[in-house]
Amino acid sequence: MLNQIPISSNGDYTYLLTWYLLLVLIVLIIFSTLLSATRRRVLVTLRGMRTITVLQCEKCDYKEEREFQVGDYVLKRVGECAKCKGPLYISMIYGVPEKGPPRPYGY
Partner 1 sequence: MVIFGTGEVRQFIPTGGDYTYLIVYLITLIALTFMWLFLGQRYQVYMWLRDAERATLKLEAMAKKGKEVLVNAIKELGKPDKDPSEEVEKFMDFFVIEPVDRDPFGVLKRLEHLLDVEREKFKDVVARVAPKANSDERANLEASFAAAWAVNYIYKFVRHYMLLGKKTKSMIVLMQIAYSLPMIMRLAEAYFNSLDAFTKGKPIGDSVGPMVAAKLMKGYPCKSIGDEIVAAEVPFEGRLLVVVKAEGPGGRVGKPGEAIAKLAQQYKDRLKRIITVDAAIKMEGENTGQVAEGVGAAIGDPGPEKYKIEQVALELGVGLDAVIIKQAYEEALSTMRKELAEAVDRAVEVVKKIVREKVVEGGVAIIAGIGNTIGVGNG
**Site for partner 1, rule CB under 8 A:** 1-3, 5, 7-14, 17, 20-21, 24, 32, 35-36, 39-40, 42-46, 49, 51-52, 54, 68, 70-76, 92-96, 105-107
60 binds Zn ion (CB under 5 A): yes
> What is the DSSP code string of 6-67?
S--SSS--HHHHHHHHHHHHHHHHHHHHHHHHHHHHHH--B--EEEEEEEEESSS--EEEEE
Residues at the contact surface with Zn ion, assessed by CB under 5 A: 57, 59-60, 62, 81, 83-84, 86
